[in-house]
Amino acid sequence: MTGVYIPAALRGNLRKYKYAGTDKSLVSRYILQPYWNTIINYVPMWMAPNLVTLSGFMFIVVNVIVTLALSENLTVPLPSWCYYMFGVFLFLYQSLDAIDGKQARRTGQSGPLGELFDHGCDALNSTLTVICVSSALDIGHSYWHLVSLVCTLGNFYLSTWEEYHTGVLALSYFSGPVEGILGVVAMFLATGLYGPRFWHQPTPLLALPLYQTFIYLSIAIIAFNIITSLINVVHVKRSGAIRALGGLAPFIGTSALVAAWAMLWPPLVESHAVPLSLYVTFLFGLLVGRIIVAHVVKAPFPFTNVAMVPLVVIVANLAVEKATGIRAIPADMDVTVLWATVGWSALAYAHFAKDVIGDICAELDIWCLVIKHPLHKKKV
């Protein structure tokens, strides 16, 4: 059976794929690597690398479920133990996310499915964790929540775009998967100790609340990483740089549409941050997932995204109302349409994941969460 996302003519490239990555982080090299090299020895050899990845991701899912169960609109402060748990679980996610590649090598299971599965979970985590962060900073009902979503996804999108064009996943001296996550872990622990309102007090020497300082600092770091990605791609592509830069259009266009939605319908951010976050999670998850697949099989860069369809329709409806006062979709249907959009994007992402995982497993004769062909050699 022919899948939708991997052309039959390109499936042979799955067998040729080899992961390439660099990590310049000093924290990773001198502190975390020794820790990761130790804990990998406690992972049983029968455990599939993707199961390690999924186990880590489930910690993030638990964090989000607890947040939504106790603060549906991200406006109610959570008990202190929640924020401590968020910090610990996020650190555990980082740990398992870091050793899944080590587990793949020690069990002889390295391959393209591992990168897709790993990056897919990372993409979803990037947005889902923002839900917990907004609760901790008490900004879930403000435009700062939307800013945090877009900036976090911008960093991840640019890294994926860079990997597609350079063939290398490059982590800088200060990267999201390492220092970024550790910074968020520290923020969660501080919130557990002092409470969310702590972040609304003035920053010493600055006329800004602490949460804004935290976000501006994050934006500055993300901007540095984005500039680095741009420089790396332009350097590698040279004469084809303009064409490569066109790959930023899906992210820019999608971000602009989400921003337009928020401006044309303010309740989206003020009262419905949770469904907005869930929609953006699956929307961008599908966006970067398709780039990763294209990178692995050497397919043309993907510009389309079926999850964008409802976004375009909604913004067009609101724009027409702004210009003419006429609505095709009644105002009393806005919330229903929003949740329907979440469902559409979730189904689109689920279809993508099932289709791609099925194709890769069939082509390489492997299973996703279980080791089908064990490596029969002694553990080193």
Residue 119 is among the residues annotated as catalytic for this protein: yes
Tell me: pLDDT of 379 over 70: no
- Residue-wise pLDDT tens digits, 219-232: 887 788 788 888 88
pLDDT band at 218 (very low <50, low <70, confident <90, very high): confident
Q: Residue 275 has what pLDDT?
A: 94
User: In terms of pLDDT, which residue wins out, 232 or 112?
Assistant: 112
- Residue-wise pLDDT tens digits, 198-212: 999 998 888 889 999
Q: Residue 235 has what pLDDT?
A: 85
263, 191 Cβ separation under 8 angstroms? no
Quick one: the chain helix, strand, coil %, rounded to 5? 75, 5, 20
- Residue-wise pLDDT tens digits, 138-162: 998 889 999 888 888 888 898 899 9
pLDDT band at 376 (very low <50, low <70, confident <90, very high): low
Lookup: tokens for 96: 């398992």
User: Quick one: average pLDDT of 115-128?
Assistant: 91
User: Quick one: average pLDDT of 362-375?
Assistant: 92
Widest pairwise Cα distance in the chain: 73
Catalytic residue among 119, 145, 272, 295: 119
The share of the chain scoring above pLDDT 90, in percent, equals 67
Label residues 163-202 b or e (16+ Cβ within 10 Å = b).
bbbbeebbbbebbbbbbbbbbbbebbbbbbeebbeebeee
Lookup: tokens for 320: 């027409």
For the chain, report the end-to-end CA distance as a whole number of angstroms: 40
274: phi then psi, degrees, rounded to nearest 5? -70, -55
User: Quick one: average pLDDT of 174-192?
Assistant: 90
Number of Cβ within 10 Å of residue 147's Cβ equals 19
Tell me: pLDDT of 3 over 80: no
Judging by DSSP bridges, how do beta strands 169-171 and 21-23 pair with one another?
A: parallel
Tell me: pLDDT of 133 over 50: yes
Lowest mean pLDDT among 89-103, 219-233, 249-263: 219-233
Calculate the average pLDDT of the chain.
91
Tell me: pLDDT of 378 over 80: no
- Residue-wise pLDDT tens digits, 9-54: 999 999 999 888 888 888 998 999 999 999 999 999 999 999 999 9
54, 369 Cβ separation under 8 angstroms? yes
Tell me: pLDDT of 96 over 80: yes
- Residue-wise pLDDT tens digits, 269-311: 988 999 999 999 999 999 999 999 999 999 999 998 899 999 9
Identify the burial level of 324 via C-beta atoms within 10 angstroms of its C-beta, where 0-12 means exposed, 13-18 middle and 19 or more buried.
Answer: exposed
| Domains of the chain listed by start with CATH number | 18-364 (1.20.120.1760)
Q: Residue 360 has what pLDDT?
A: 95
d(CA 169, CA 21): 4
The share of the chain scoring above pLDDT 70, in percent, equals 98
